[in-house]
Amino acid sequence: MINMNAKYRDTYEAVAKQIPFEPEICVVLGSGLGDFAEKVETIRSIPTSSLPNYPVSTVQGHDGYLHFANYANKKLLIVQGRIHLYEGYRISQCMVPVYVSSKLNCKKILLTNAAGGVNQHFTPGDLMLNSSFNGINIKKELTDLIGITSLEKKNTFLDFPSHAFINIVKNAALQEKISLKEGVYWFNKGPSYETPAEIRMTSYFGGDAVGMSTAHEAVYAAYLGMEVAAISCITNMAAGLSSQKLSHTEVMETAEMVKKDFERLVKKIIELS
């Protein structure tokens, strides 16, 4: 089991010295959704490059900041600049934002991501509530991280994703008249997109969307006792399901198109939380 306290205590302490308040809700921004902090009242923005041991995000659309912000009388920590396994980082490094937010006493975490649609009823631009995740292809990393060796044990003590928080997300979508799809987020390490054969397998196994983040963050946050919900922006149809060539540019362009709806949804979720 990885001792995050031993490895990242300095990181947390450097943040703790600068916080204007203890956050209630942490929002992790996915690809292309990075400017949400500009849409709320930001009180302090800490560049993650100024923090000891904080991994450097190398992905376009993932500038590294921890923003402390207010919206609808809620105190927020907005994580801009997610850390991915495909950047060559270890799972403990990917977990630093979740670890820091939990240490700051934050009780809820909303994870957002860009994902490829596997379910043929989806179209690019859809938003999908993550009803569940696969963990099989990162089982070893998850075991190292949280020390859980039996799935049975895991299922008995994790409310994951959190039922109460998920109901808030569904209500927010209803109130904002945003059509919110629901489905299983299927994690792949990357760095390359999947092959058409892998997508057929994912579909057969019950995955509705594929992405390279979120699943391990959700497991770890739930393990730390946080309420977890996750939303995907379906930015493209997964490999083999459309004639269009898959690219990070397409992912960013679709995320840009959907940004307004996504922002409305996240704001309403914060309001109702």
- Contacting positions for ligand HPA (CB under 6 A): 114-116, 193-194, 210-212, 235-236, 238, 246, 251
Q: How far is the CB of 77 from ligand HPA (least distance, A)?
A: 24
Q: How far is the CB of 135 from ligand HPA (least distance, A)?
A: 16
Q: Are 207 and 134 in contact (CB under 8 A)?
A: yes
Please state the φ and ψ torsions of residue 93, each to the nearest 5 degrees. -70, -35
Q: How far is the CB of 131 from ligand HPA (least distance, A)?
A: 18
Q: Omega of the bond prior to 191 within 30 degrees of 0, cis?
A: yes
Rounded Cα–Cα distance for residues 251 and 114 (Å): 7
Nearer to ligand HPA, 23 or 211 (CB): 211
Nearer to ligand HPA, 34 or 116 (CB): 116
Q: Give the H or E element holding residue 205.
A: helix 196-205
Q: How far is the CB of 182 from ligand HPA (least distance, A)?
A: 18
Nearer to ligand HPA, 64 or 211 (CB): 211
Rounded Cα–Cα distance for residues 53 and 8 (Å): 7
Largest CA distance in the chain: 51
Nearer to ligand HPA, 76 or 85 (CB): 85
Nearer to ligand HPA, 19 or 59 (CB): 59
Q: How far is the CB of 118 from ligand HPA (least distance, A)?
A: 8
Rounded Cα–Cα distance for residues 225 and 135 (Å): 18
**Closest-CB residue for ligand HPA?**
116
Q: How far is the CB of 85 from ligand HPA (least distance, A)?
A: 12
Rounded Cα–Cα distance for residues 239 and 195 (Å): 6
Nearer to ligand HPA, 191 or 225 (CB): 191
208 contacts: CB under 8 Å, gap ≥ 6? 117, 118, 119, 122, 128, 181, 183, 184, 185, 186
